[in-house]
Structure formats: structure tokens, C-alpha cells
Amino acid sequence: MMDIALIAHDRKKDEMVNFAIAYEHVLKHHRLYATGTTGTRIMDSTELSVHRFMSGPLGGDQQIGALVAENKMDLIIFLRDPLMAQPHEPDIIALLRLCDVQGIPVATNVATGELLIKALERGDFAWRELVHKYKPGIEE
């Protein structure tokens, strides 16, 4: 079971909901986390259980980033809106940087998100279990 974060900027929330509906059969086998409104909308449209953090601009990106920093997140689907300035852009960049530092797969658009979900469905992320098992300080 993997820990997966689902994040979407305002103009990408419908796309994230559609993504969650399309891949509910895969996502239901994992622990899901999301920022505020995104998590609510996913739960309202699916039967998925989602742990919700605060809204991104209010610190939700940083809350997910804290799990990434502790290597407690396995995959992030972050549907970003590249055409709209975000007031919390430094938090977003920090989250993406942490993913790079910890080697956490992250998708920033639905095309890459689908590739990662298909890989998850095939079992291609089993290596994350080894990361958790052998990394000092990581407890399950």
C-alpha cells in the first residue's frame, strides 16, 4: 500500500476529480492524501477515502512537504496550472524540490499522472517498500 498525494490548482480541480474517477479502481488500494478542497471534491465524486490537509495557499502544500521530507510519501499527482500565477509559488517549488531530494515520483499534469498510475497498477513501485524497509529512521 502506497501513500499518494493528490493536489490540484483551482482550474485543474475538475481534471483531478475526473482522474480520480477514472482510476478509482487503482487508488482505492492506497492511502490517499490531498489538500483541502481537492480532497473534498474527490470524496464527493468517488467512494475513495482521502486524508485532507489544509488548502494549498494556507499551508497544505507544506503539510504534504513535511511527509515528503520524512520520506513518508510514495507518489504525488500535482495538477498544476502553468498559466496562472500562484500566491504560494515558493511553497510549490519547495514541495517539488523535496520530491527531487527524496526521489519521490511526481506528476504535474494528467498525462504523466496516468503514466505513474499505470506503473502503480503494474506494481512498478514495489521499490518504495524497500526504501521504507532499509532507510534509517523510517518506521512503518
Residue type, 93: I
9 annotated to a ligand binding site: yes
Cα 117 from chain centroid (whole Å): 11
35 annotated to a ligand binding site: yes
4: enclosing H helix or E strand: strand 3-8
Task: Specify whether 61 is catalytic.
Answer: yes
88 annotated to a ligand binding site: yes
37 annotated to a ligand binding site: yes
Q: Give the active site residue among 3, 61, 74, 91.
A: 61
In a 3-state reduction of DSSP, which class is residue 135?
coil
- Residue in 6, 64, 66, 73 with CA at minimum distance from that of residue 34: 6
Q: Point out the annotated binding site for substrate.
A: 9, 13, 35-38, 55-56, 88
Give the residue ranges of the annotated binding site: 9, 13, 35-38, 55-56, 88
Which sequence positions are flagged as catalytic? 61
